[in-house]
Chains A and B, each alone.
Chain A
């Protein structure tokens, strides 16, 4: 009994200690962001690895998610004779929910895990300590550019995902199932609001980008510097990012569309 309580206490303390360290790390990274505008090449290199290299998976999943939405939406809507509203169904679900959320999950798997592994290995091979010896602050030189790149890349990736998804839905709905081309686009434009839907989706994706990158960087920086520690940290990045994204999505949706 006492042992169980003690275990619970240890788990709880460990959780709050990690949360505290993660917050301290974020506070240390934030002042490192503005000077990056003077050395933007550091960010560009990171944008390449988190943004450009994630493009393929984003494009492919975007097309298929859009095509599935087109098929499923058509099958449901055709019963009510409302298949003209297919564009609205596809665009709203993509722009509001699936675009930001699925992109964030893929981003955590594709870019977040890579970030953790890279930073964790840098720590394990003592590259970060070597930088400190040379009076280079690894938080500013290594972590801040990666954080900024993740934060910038996510909204762009989510926008690409949604756009490609709308095209995929269009291809299935208009191209294969015979929904009218004009009503697909005009109904979409009538029902999708720039501020309520598109802009809130962009805000969501920015928040998700920040959270996923934060988790990835923290897990890498906080990893036990052994090969097992790095592999555990990488797993934790993906799991915790996915949980954080889904939980945060509920909170943001309730704030944006609930009231």
Chain B
């Protein structure tokens, strides 16, 4: 084996390895969801964000327009403060846009869905979304349902 052939084979091997890593990054994992352009941030307060995670999607009309950047707890108001990073291209959301936490499918992951309001003025960096609807917790729903069922039965 001449050193030239060896070098060509090693070159091919390294290229194949790097191509495989590249494919794992681009095609298998969520690299393209990291590459967001410039964003602006708005906050929203929720009573309950259970199941929502950082980097969960933010959608409007079912299209992803941003993602959750931070989830914090406000000691004063005892609420969860969620910071949403929204793509700069979508900078014409009305000021009275509302935010709700939904579940994709029955047991899928949580996401924040925005619904447009009707105001002329649009949301800017640092604004707060006033109208929010909490995450639906399956246990709470079932508890309510059972309580209602028992009530109906006793009447």
* Residues of chain A at the chain B interface (Cβ within 8 Å): 41, 44-45, 47-48, 51-52, 55, 91, 95, 153, 155-157, 159-160, 162-164, 166, 185, 188-190, 192-194, 197-198, 202
Of the A-B pairs whose beta carbons lie under 8 Å apart in the complex, a sample of 26, sorted by A's number, is A47-B10, A47-B14, A48-B1, A51-B10, A52-B10, A52-B13, A153-B13, A153-B17, A155-B17, A156-B14, A156-B18, A159-B21, A162-B24, A163-B24, A163-B28, A189-B29, A189-B30, A189-B32, A189-B33, A192-B29, A193-B30, A194-B25, A194-B30, A197-B29, A198-B28, A198-B29
Instruction: For chain B, residues 12 to 67, give those with C-beta under 8 angstroms from any C-beta of chain A.
Output: 12-14, 16-18, 20-21, 23-25, 27-34
Q: Give CA–CA (A55, B9) in the complex, Å.
A: 11
Q: How far is the CA of A55 from the CA of B18 in the complex (A)?
A: 14
Known: A51-B10, A163-B24, A194-B25. A156 touches B17 (CB 8 A): yes
Taking the closest CB of chain A, its distance from the CB of B8, in whole angstroms, is 10
Give residues in B with beta carbon < 8 Å to A.
1, 3, 6-7, 9-10, 12-14, 16-18, 20-21, 23-25, 27-34
B36 to chain A, nearest CB (A): 14
Give A197 to B29 CA distance when docked, in angstroms: 8
Residues from chain B with a CB closer than 8 A to the CB of A95 are: 24, 28-29
Shortest Cβ-Cβ A-B pairs, 4 listed: A156-B17, A159-B20, A163-B20, A194-B29
Q: Name the prevailing secondary structure of the A interface residues.
A: helix
Distance A157 CA – B23 CA, assembled complex (angstroms) = 14
- Residues B13 and A194 in contact, CB atoms below 8 Å apart: no
User: With contacts A47-B10, A48-B9, A52-B10 known, is A156 near B20, CB below 8 A?
Assistant: yes
- Among B6, B17, B18, B33, chain A packs the most CB atoms within 10 A around the CB of B17
Contact B9 A166 (CB under 8 A): no
